Structure formats: structure tokens, C-alpha cells
Amino acid sequence: MTTQQKLIATVAMTLACTGIAISQRAPGGPAQPSEFDSHYSLGPDSLPRDGVPKGEVKGPFTLASKAWPGTEHKYWVYVPAQYDGSRDVSLMVFQDGNVYVNPTGPYRAPNVLDNLIYRGDIPVMIGVLIDPGVFSADQKTNRNDEYMAQDDRYSKVIIDEVLPAVSKDYKISRDPDRHGIAGWSAGAHAAFTVAWQRSDYFHKLMTGIGAFADIQGSAGYTYPEKVLASEKKPIRIFMVDGRNDTRSDQKGKDGKATEYDAHRDFFLQNVRLMEALQKKGYDINYSWGMGVHSHNQGGMMLPEMLRWIWRDAPLSLDPKDSTERSFRKAAK
């Protein structure tokens, strides 16, 4: 089995664990195949482009966790072609890293970063793509417990464990304005929790089909109230969800329809969180599409989301500044 085949197999396993299927419904969504998701497809910014220097994806690396004893995390590092180590660069962290790094997957983040960095749409940045932890003893995933927790353990995985290991090899800015974090589904809850708890470290945030709901007793639906009750944090956020995301019209183990539960309505809870963030005055953008609980809309939107959250990169208006009007070439 080739490296790419192994990666695709890993992605398929992760999607099976998360309840997400590309172009397929999650429980409670419309019948398969999704007529809604068929309208979302990747654009040119998500595909390899002639003449664009390609960054390098290194890994996967494996790191034992102290925050979650008995588990280990696999991660990849995207190094842009323009990186030469002469100056510090920005940082973008993705949850469910194997889904983002998959060259035939729904996001193809390395392609997106290649294209946007080359054109100067976003700053030069290191990408860190992290998988949820697995238990070393039996390789069972710890995804739901990690991603849906609202304590500080997963923040420690990111900030105290993985990023120090990456920073040994790459010069990453310490400025939180130059740090972004992203995730989809339960990974969106995890990314929000990290940015919420450690806004001293992350000022940029992207979420898609966010699991801000009651999942196995978790309390993601409480974040709107926490936002309204807390002082505004210096976070910029772009949210994506579909109107056909999980709406709590699910069936129980007996096959019978369960009663509607607003705490389990993903789309409702994403809208509630957006409204709370707006009311509090956050710098927020959002897109409510027609998708189900899948990656299709988010994959299509990834380039635009990155452009928007990184829109405050330094800009020269000097008409004689040829560097400002040039593509970013690969480092020599």
C-alpha cells in the first residue's frame, strides 16, 4: 500500500468515527445521495496550479501526550515553499489533520495554502495539521472526549505539547494576531474551545458544521451564554454550516423517531452562537448554506475563509513597490 493509499484509508476511518461522510448525510440529514451537497465543489484555489511553488508536507510525526495520559497524537507540518528560516512566520492549526492534508480529500489544505501564499492573499505561514489522540494500548480514538471537552486539556495538547515540538524546527511568530486555528464538526468545538480559553495565543478562528450541541452529554450548546456573560475576547471568527446539518430528528436504538431536542440541533446552535458573538461585537463572518453534516461546503469555502481571517496582513500602497505586486517565489 502506498503512502497516499494509507492516508486515504486513514481519512476514511476518521470520517467513519466522526459520523461524517463526504457527499453523504449524517444522522438526521436528508436521504443519500445529498442533493444539497452536490452543489458544492472545489474551486481552482483548492487544486494544484501551474507555476505555483509547492510547499512540503512533513510527517506524520507522533507525540505522546501528558495532558491526556495514555494517548498519542499524530500530526503533519506544512512548510511553504517561501519559508527560508530567515524570519518568523505565521501559524495555522487544523484539527483532524489527516482529513485536511489528504491530497484527494474535501479540503486539500496544502494546495489552498500554496495558492493563497503565492498570490499574497495570506501571509507566509506554517501549517500544523493534528489528528485527535489515540490510546497507545489499543489505538482506539479519543476524539469525542478530547474535542468535546470544555476544560483546558486539549488546549494543553496544542499549545504546550505539539507546537513547542514544531517550533524547535521552524521560526513561528509569538504574536497571537498571527496565529489561527480551525476545525470542523467536533473539531470545530475543539478549535473554539482552544481559542476561547487561550485567546492570548490564538486570535483567528474558523469553524464548520460546528458540534456546538449535546453529544454524549457534552455541553457545546452552552457557549452562546458563556459568550454573552464574558468580556469580549480578541478573536476573529468565520463560521460555516448548512441548513440540512443534523437537526435532532434522529432515530433511537429501537428505530423509532426521537423527540426533537434543541440542544442536539446543530444548525440552530451554530446560529445561536453566531448571534451571541455578533451581539457581543466580535469580528465575525459566517455562511449558512444548504449542506448536510458533511465537508462539501466547508471544503469549497476554505480559501475564502482563510482570505477573510487573514485580511489584515501588511499592505503597501507605494506604487513603486514591485514586491507588493509580485507573486511570492520559492525560497532559494
What are the chain's domains? 3-251+270-309 (3.40.50.1820)
Beta-carbon contacts of residue 214 (< 8 Å; ≥ 6 apart): 220, 221, 261, 263, 264
- DSSP label of 239: E
Residue 26 reports pLDDT greater than 50? no
Q: Is 216 exposed, middle or buried, given 0-12, 13-18 or 19+ CB atoms closer than 10 A?
A: exposed
Element of type H or E holding 125: strand 125-130
pLDDT band at 71 (very low <50, low <70, confident <90, very high): very high
pLDDT band at 37 (very low <50, low <70, confident <90, very high): confident
Q: What's the pLDDT tens digit per position in 244-292?
A: 998 876 666 676 777 888 898 999 999 999 999 999 999 999 999 999 9
Cα–Cα distance, 16 to 165 (Å, whole number): 29
Min mean pLDDT across 12-26, 171-185, 272-286, 309-323 is at 12-26
Q: What is the mean pLDDT of residues 193-208?
A: 97
pTM reported for the whole predicted model: 0.88
40: which 3 cell numbers? Answer: 458544492
Cα–Cα distance, 77 to 323 (Å, whole number): 27
Q: What's the pLDDT tens digit per position in 147-168?
A: 999 999 999 999 999 999 999 9
For residue 243, give the 3-state DSSP assignment.
Answer: coil
